[in-house]
A = this chain, B = another copy of it.
Amino acid sequence: MSIVEFLSSIVPFTQNELNDIQGHFKKESVPKNQILVHQGAICKTLYFMEQGMGRSFYTKENGKEITQWFFGVGKFMTSADSFFQQTPSLYNLEVLVDSVVFSISKEDMDQLFAKYHKMEKLGRLVTTEMLTKIVNKLNAIQFQTAKERYDYMLAEFPDIAHQVPLGYIASYLGMTQETLSRIRK
């Protein structure tokens, strides 16, 4: 899914607007395992995942990695907090397979928000959708058994669930890899 298709699917931009907006995005190929943003750095770029997949994760004091979110095709990938408030990112942003992304800087994005009311609306809608998803995850984590949480994962990220190491999923779901391994049977 191209960024133009994505934008159009949410808010009805004119062709001219789409051209202008698209001009602010830069298409990039990113090789597997590349880190787009490091924990502690300020995230200056928003990415749209055209092809591939990624995750955000942080490293605990004990060195263990905790996956915080997965990003599939057709999603915006960023450390939302860090990008929008320009504060140090709590997470690393990593591409999990060879991917193609469209990137845009904070300044350009702000410009688009300011220029197009419709873009601001799109921003609001996308943020609302993200909010809903996080609430879903929260409910899963807080009130469901390990087994049910895995089912939630399969439902939320069907395409991703079978393509990443078990440990990534386990930490995303707030359980150990051993537990997840036992559950899958």
Contact = CB atoms under 8 A, between A and B. Distances in A.
Interface of A: 60, 66, 80-81, 84-85, 113, 117, 120-121, 123-124, 127-128, 130-132, 134-135, 137-138, 141-143, 174
A56 B60 CA distance: 32
Contacts of A137: 138
Contacts of A81: 132, 135
Given A141-B141, A142-B141, A135 B132 contact: no
Given A117-B120, A130-B131, A131-B130, A142 B174 contact: yes
Contacts of A135: 80-81, 134
Contact of A143 (B66, B123, B128): B66
A128 B174 contact: no
Nearest to A123: B124
A108 to B, nearest CB: 16
Nearest to A137: B138
Contacts of A80: 128, 131-132, 135
Nearest to A80: B131
Nearest to A138: B138
Q: Which of A81, A84, A127, A174 has the most CB of B within 10 A?
A: A127
Given A81-B132, A123-B124, A134-B138, 15 more contacts: A60-B143, A66-B143, A80-B128, A84-B128, A120-B124, A124-B124, A124-B127, A127-B127, A127-B128, A131-B134, A137-B138, A141-B141, A141-B142, A142-B174, A143-B174
